[in-house]
Structure 1
Amino acid sequence: MTTQQLYAEIIRKKSFLCIGLDVDLDKIPPHLLATEDPIFEFNKAIIDATHDLAVAYKPNTAFYEAYGLKGWHSLEKTINYLNEKHPEIFTIADAKRGDIGNTSAMYARAFLEDLAFDSVTVAPYMGRDSVEPFLAVKDKFTILLALTSNGGAFDFQTQKAGDGELYKTVLKTSKTWQNSENLMYVIGATKAEYFTEVRKIVPNSFLLVPGVGAQGGSLSEVCRYGMNDTVGLLVNSSRGIIYASNDEDFAEKARGEAQAMQQEMEAIIIDWQLSKALD
């Protein structure tokens, strides 16, 4: 998938919603536990109920790795289902990898080639040679952790480093790496006041934005400071959507929560389009 195709899907659906598929067996509806693969059955129901509202899905791989081989198999079935049934939807392996070059190359092969995700999240701390193996995979995207939504982000990411904060150094330095046009960035919604600074450095990149909803981030604030000429945002919601109900109506309730977010996004996109037309 290209960014142009992703933008076209955003405009078609009037949505930039990404749904996080972070499946905890202790939280899913009990009736699913009797099925052969509860994790996949849960994901399939969520996808079937929301695919017309979302432009991206983001399984956090920790929620699958925690269940060993069975969990990994559920992740494989989930991405295969998405790629077969909804190839127009952008997929994100939220794996937060990053290691020495030959190891990163194997991670890239695992997520971008074998599992065939469109993108993978990567930690930048080890620098160029730990990230470029991901960037080398043709027609795939690397989503770099830049300014995250957790409270501990302030421990390092906003500390002074040279002429500015560390997250700015990450953004600026990453633009010098080979195939940097394949970069996207994680910028937390709980840090909405930073989006103006982020856009000064990476005006054209897509930003994956966690933290709206359960973590308290404001969608309107994120859009006010973070949207660019191609919208440029993928706003993620996980728990607020997928765990809207613990009963047999869980997929219907998830759709209701997703639709509420999509409708808010639709209003924002319409206003944004009108604004562009007037400029």
Structure 2
Amino acid sequence: MTSSDIFAEIQKKKSFLCVGLDPVMEKIPRQLLREEDPVFSFNKAIIDATIDQAVAYKPNLAFYEALGPGGWETLQKTLDYLPSEVFTIADAKRGDIGNTSTLYAKAFFEQMDFDALTVAPYMGEDSVRPFLGFDGKWVVILALTSNQGSQDFQMIEDPNGMPLYAAVLEKSREWGTTQNTMYVVGATRGSHIQSVREIVPDHFLLVPGVGAQGGSLEEVAKFGMNSQCGLLVNSSRGILYASSGTDFALAAKKEAQSLQIAMEELLSKYLA
């Protein structure tokens, strides 16, 4: 999938919404627990409810690995159920050296056929480059995350005043292209998104932290949108658990529709 393909879906749906498929067994509506595969039944209902608004879906692998071997089967069934036109991201945060990275890439890009994979760049170029050797596949590099602990390392400045996250962006943009590399950039501070855009103006950004973590969608668009939108804004808990009752899918749809309406306005405002 190319950046033009992603942008075409954004234009079609007037949305840059990514839905995080992070199911917690304890939060799945009770009526689904009678199903043969409750997590897949939940995911399927969420996908059906949000497919008109979402251009991407991002399962976090931890929520499936925690279920043991059956969790991997559920993940594959979920991936197979998703329409081919939506962008699929394996949020696995892999990153190792040499043939280990190559095997991780084969697992997610060849065996499971995800479009993209999140990768931690801490070990440097030789831990990321193996993921870049697959046509039509994307590496989503962790750059500036939205969690509280991001301050521990990502904001450390070198003698010239450059924070570590900026150094990661500066260096890693040499490894790939705007057609195979994206960046995770948290939404919690708009000024940081602006500084990211100064370094990588044309790359897509995967942006968590809007909603439950307090990030502003307006600020994300103001500072982060480029001529191809360049944004995939993720929402997980706000959509998945909008209701815990029998109306959970309808509530998820309403939340996704609310985000889509806001995104349509922002697309009109900043891409006009």
Report if TM-score (shorter chain) is over 0.5.
yes
**Which residue pairs with 1:185 in the alignment?**
183
Over 3 Å counting, the alpha-carbon distance change for 1:97 and 1:193 in structure 2 is same
Deviations for 1:181-206, whole angstroms, at most 9, x for unmatched residues? 41100000013211111111100000
Distance 1:212 1:112 in 2: 28
Which residues in structure 2 correspond to 1:142-221 (within 5 Å)? 142-161=139-158, 163=160, 164-177=162-175, 181-221=179-219
Residues 116 and 140 in structure 2, CA contact (< 8 A), matched pair in contact too: yes
**Which residue pairs with 1:264 in the alignment?**
262
Over 3 Å counting, the alpha-carbon distance change for 1:152 and 1:265 in structure 2 is same
Could you tell me how far 1:272 is from its partner in structure 2?
2.1
- Provide structure 2 residue ranges, at least 5 long, that are not aligned to the other structure: none
**Which residue pairs with 1:101 in the alignment?**
98
**Which residue pairs with 2:6 in the alignment?**
6
Are 1:20 and 2:20 counterparts?
yes
* Deviating more after overlay: 187-196 vs 251-260: 187-196
Aligned residues: 271
**Which residue pairs with 2:115 in the alignment?**
118
SS of the counterpart of 1:231? coil
**Which residue pairs with 1:277 in the alignment?**
none
Deviations for 1:243-273, whole angstroms, at most 9, x for unmatched residues? 0111111111000000000000011111223
Deviations for 1:140-181, whole angstroms, at most 9, x for unmatched residues? 000000000001101000111353110011001002225574
Residues 204 and 228 in structure 1, CA contact (< 8 A), matched pair in contact too: yes
Q: Identity across aligned pairs (percent)?
A: 59
Query: Equivalent of 2:127, from 130, 149, 165?
Result: 130
Residues 10 and 55 in structure 1, CA contact (< 8 A), matched pair in contact too: yes
Residues 56 and 92 in structure 1, CA contact (< 8 A), matched pair in contact too: yes
**Which residue pairs with 1:81 in the alignment?**
81
Distance 1:109 1:177 in 2: 19
Residues 132 and 179 in structure 1, CA contact (< 8 A), matched pair in contact too: no
Query: Equivalent of 1:255, from 250, 253, 256?
Result: 253
Distance 2:78 2:230 in 1: 26
SS of the counterpart of 1:58? strand
Distance 1:136 1:180 in 2: 14
State the one-letter code of the partner of 2:188.
T
Distance 1:209 1:42 in 2: 24
Distance 1:211 1:162 in 2: 30
Runs of 4+ in 1 over 6 A off after TM superposition: none
- Provide structure 1 residue ranges, at least 5 long, that are not aligned to the other structure: 275-279
Distance 1:144 1:9 in 2: 22
SS of the counterpart of 2:25? coil
Query: What is the Cα-based RMSD across aligned positions, in Å?
Result: 1.0
State the one-letter code of the partner of 1:134.
F
Distance 2:90 2:170 in 1: 24
